[in-house]
Structures are given as structure tokens and as C-alpha cells.
Copies of this chain bind each other. A is one copy, B any other.
Amino acid sequence: MPQRLSSASDDFEPRFRDLLAGKREASLDVEDAVRAILADVRRRGDAALIELTARYDALELTPETMRVPADEIEAAYRATAPETLQALELAHERITRHHERQRPQDDRYTDAIGAELGSRWTAVESVGLYVPGGAASYPSSVLMNAVPAKVAGVERIAMVVPAMRGALNPLVLAAARIAGVGEIYRIGGAQAVAALAFGTQTIAPVAKIVGPGNAYVASAKRQVFGTVGIDMIAGPSEVLVIADGANDPDWIAADLLAQAEHDRAAQSILLTDDAGFADAVERAVERQLARLSRQETARASWEAFGAVIVVGDLLAEAPALADRIAAEHLEIATDDPEALFALIRNAGAAFLGRHTPEVIGDYVGGSNHVLPTARSARFSSGLSVLDFVKRTSILKLTTEALRALGPAAIELARVEGLDAHGRSVSVRLNLAGDAG
């Protein structure tokens, strides 16, 4: 049974704090092992990559067979069932259309003293996309990571995906084909991150690495950060469902289980103002669990990390609690979800109304499913086009603008004890008419 909290009980605050503080993942200490792998690939390139792939993925590669050939990608695409292709293509089209609205605008203006200022956005030149192998090798994740990069104008996307004993999920290749990603290597783990960050004889280095992975991949991304950019480090999935008693308990139970089936460390929380409804949802969860193929995972998550929070009044109490939870996914299933949503600031993605299950956002809604976990929605956002562009600020002065601003800059340089700073301005003020 998930734990039940009631905001009316005396021990609510300490129990809610414990819920927030609860660690859902054992933090594997893989840092030293990863450090050695990174150093090895950095020093020996392909040779190290090939050895490590043989050791960890039971796959013998050569520099020639590392890259998945175009005809293998094409064959995977052609072998995909038409209804699956249609679904992937609908997802691709909707994700593309939504992300096209995220392109930031350049700005350039001249202010009152004649100084020209601006911001110019350009795409990151090259991006590495990590795709996990095995059961978590999801075609939807390929689309969610590749499309924003494509929309941003990234010229080169290099995808890596581990192929245990040579096996690749053909749907991952089909999704890559749909997203326009043609440079794919059958490597994974920390060694793949190293190859993308430092480059090898066969793989050119990239400027930024994105995509989910296991503890080794996460540690490798942390360690190469600085050499390259990285996206967020994704934790286990989570949902907060705010629901009143007018919902069908079966619908809400299904939503809670859709998170729970991802991972034993996933977290599903129901927040409601109706204790009887909460009971009905818990019973519905039990009924549905019996029929799930991933029953074992979903039950482990629900029993260890699931929670039901009952409050007296949703509008009065839910927003503050939701902000403290700062959920990756926030579902609001009430008659007026906008009223509640307007009072909540911390959430990766919001799903409003009784007919908006979070799962639509996982696949075909159009918004991104790479979202901040573990309360990081307090300070970060889901993956977007902004993650694949960077801004250069621009300043351009006339001699008059320099004369207007120069004395203040000289004064600040003086009080900060930076002579050469002051001189870089004063030398131009004295001589502004003579050169240039």
C-alpha cells in the first residue's frame, strides 16, 4: 500500500517533509570506474572503445563496423509495421510543430546614447545523442531528443546506442530515420560518452551530449561537462495527480500506474480532497495491477514510493504542496484546472483537465517528454530548442557613445583596482578622433 497523508493530521508536516526528502535511487559509486574509462578512450581512441564494447556489450566491433550503415537504418524503417510508422510520424510532426515555436528571436537595438546592443542566437554545431539499449531503448525518446536539435539548426547529430551482443531495437533506427539522424554508432556506456566528448579516430567529437542513460552514463556526462555541454541528469519518472472526487477512479489509477510501470524507483502521488475517492483509486490500482505485464515493477514503485495526500480544500492547499513537490509531470483533473494551475509555479509539464492523460505528452502531444525530475522543476525546464542554441551578446559603440559611457567605466575600473581596464577606455577617449 502507498502511504496516506492527511493535511488535517498533526504529523502531516514532518511526514510530507520525509516524502520530499526520500531518496528513490541508490547512488551507485561508479565515479572511479567511469573516470578510468574516460581516460582510456581519451588516450587510445578507437582501440579502447572496441575493447570496452567487447567487455561490456559482448560485441566485437572494428572501426568499420562501429557505425550503423545507411542500408541497415533503411531496412529497419521498411520493416516497421505501417501503424507504428504512422504513429511515429504523427509524433514527429507534432513535436516538430510545437518546438518550432520555441526558436528564440535575435534582438538588436540602439539606445538613447547611440550605443548598439543585441543578442544573437546560433545553433550548437554538433550534438551527441545517447540512446539507452535494452528494455529502455525507446523510439519516442529518439524523437524527443533529436527534434529540438534539428529545429534549432544543429548541423550534425551523432547518435550512440549500445547493442548488447549486436542487437539493436529496429524501432530506434526507424525513429532516427524519421528524425533525420543518419550518423549512428553501436556503442554505449561511459565509453560512448567519452568518444562523443573527446573524439576518436572514427568518431568526431561533439559540442554537447544529451539523452538519458544508466548510472555509468550519468556519471560520464557529469565528468565530461565543461569539455562539452550536457543536458540535465534525468532521475526516475514521477507524476503528481491533483484530482477531485468527480473523476472516474479507474482513469486516475491508470495514470498513476503509467508512471509506476517505468521504474521501481518511479513515484506516483495522488492529491485529492476526497478520502473516499482516494480509497476507490487505491482499489482500482490493485485491480489494474493484476493485468499489467510490468506488474512487478509497477507494484514495487507504488508500494515503496506511491503516496496519497488528502487535503481539506484543493484550491487552498494543493498549490503550496505541489510547489514543494515540484513534480516532473503534473496532472490536474478538476472542473477548473486553470484556476489551480495559475497558483502553481513548479512543474516540468502540466496536463490540464480530465481528458488529458500525461501519456499523451509522452508520445504525441507535441511537447517534450524530457523533463526535470527529483524536484529540479524548482530551477530547471524540460528539453527544448533553447538547449541546442547559444546566445552571443553584442555591443557596438560610436565615439559619442564611448564618450558617454567611458568615464563611469573608468571610475569602476579604478575602484576595482584594474588599471589596464581603465586604460583600455581612456586611451580611446583621448585619441578618439585620431584613428579608426
Which of chain B's residues have a CB closer than 8 A to the CB of A107? Answer: 101
Task: Digitize A95-126: 1 where CB-to-B-CB distance is under 8 Å, 0 elsewhere.
Answer: 00110011010010101000111011011110
Q: How far does the alpha carbon of A346 sit from the alpha carbon of B86 in the complex, in Å?
A: 39
With an 8 A cutoff between CB atoms, is A178 at the interface? no
With an 8 A cutoff between CB atoms, is A8 at the interface? no
- Select which of B115, B140, B359, B427 is within 8 A of A425 by beta carbon: B359
Which of chain B's residues have a CB closer than 8 A to the CB of A372? Answer: 390
Which of chain B's residues have a CB closer than 8 A to the CB of A408? Answer: 86-87, 90-91, 363-364
Task: Digitize A377-388: 1 where CB-to-B-CB distance is under 8 Å, 0 elsewhere.
Answer: 111111010100
Binds B, one of A56-64, A156-164, A270-278, A349-357: A349-357
Q: How far does the alpha carbon of A407 sit from the alpha carbon of B254 in the complex, in Å?
A: 16
Which of chain B's residues have a CB closer than 8 A to the CB of A337? Answer: 396
With an 8 A cutoff between CB atoms, is A421 at the interface? yes
| Contact of A418 with B98 in the complex, beta carbons under 8 Å | no
Q: How far does the alpha carbon of A117 sit from the alpha carbon of B100 in the complex, in Å?
A: 13
With an 8 A cutoff between CB atoms, is A171 at the interface? yes
Q: How far does the alpha carbon of A260 sit from the alpha carbon of B418 in the complex, in Å?
A: 10
Q: How far does the alpha carbon of A366 sit from the alpha carbon of B107 in the complex, in Å?
A: 14
Task: Digitize A421-434: 1 where CB-to-B-CB distance is under 8 Å, 0 elsewhere.
Answer: 11111011001101
Q: Using A288-B423, A382-B391, A421-B261 as known contacts, say yes or no to A360 and B409 having CB atoms under 8 A apart.
A: yes
Chain A positions 252-299 with a Cβ under 8 Å from a chain B Cβ: 254-255, 257-258, 260-262, 288, 291-294, 298
| Contact of B248 with A431 in the complex, beta carbons under 8 Å | yes
Which one of A356, A363, A397, A424 has the highest number of Cβ atoms from chain B below 10 Å of its Cβ?
A424
Q: Using A363-B408, A378-B124, A379-B124 as known contacts, say yes or no to A356 and B421 having CB atoms under 8 A apart.
A: no
| Contact of A359 with B421 in the complex, beta carbons under 8 Å | yes
Q: How far does the alpha carbon of A355 sit from the alpha carbon of B102 in the complex, in Å?
A: 35
Which of chain B's residues have a CB closer than 8 A to the CB of A393? Answer: 348-350, 361, 367-368, 371, 382
- Select which of B90, B115, B347, B374 is within 8 A of A392 by beta carbon: B347
Q: Categorize the interface residue count of chain A.
A: 35 or more
With an 8 A cutoff between CB atoms, is A339 at the interface? no
| Contact of B352 with A87 in the complex, beta carbons under 8 Å | no
- Select which of B364, B390, B420 is within 8 A of A258 by beta carbon: B420
Nearest CB in chain B: distance from A212 CB, A? 14
Q: Using A258-B424, A411-B87 as known contacts, say yes or no to A125 and B345 having CB atoms under 8 A apart.
A: yes
With an 8 A cutoff between CB atoms, is A75 at the interface? no
With an 8 A cutoff between CB atoms, is A12 at the interface? no
Q: Using A395-B349, A402-B356, A419-B292 as known contacts, say yes or no to A409 and B363 having CB atoms under 8 A apart.
A: yes
Binds B, one of A47-55, A181-189, A225-233, A310-318: A225-233
| Residues of chain A having any CB pair with chain B under 8 Å | 83-84, 86-88, 90-91, 97-98, 101-102, 104, 107, 109, 111, 115-117, 119-120, 122-125, 135, 138-140, 171, 207-208, 222, 226, 228-229, 233, 246-248, 250-251, 254-255, 257-258, 260-262, 288, 291-294, 298, 323, 330, 333, 337, 341, 345-368, 371-372, 374, 376-382, 384, 386, 390-399, 401-402, 405-409, 411-413, 415-425, 427-428, 431-432, 434-436
Can you list 16 pairs linking A and B with CB atoms under 8 Å apart? A84-B412, A86-B411, A91-B408, A115-B365, A116-B352, A117-B365, A123-B345, A125-B346, A139-B415, A140-B416, A255-B424, A330-B392, A333-B436, A352-B394, A367-B393, A382-B393
Closest A-B pairs by Cβ, 8 of them: A229-B379, A354-B436, A87-B408, A367-B393, A257-B420, A352-B396, A381-B391, A254-B424
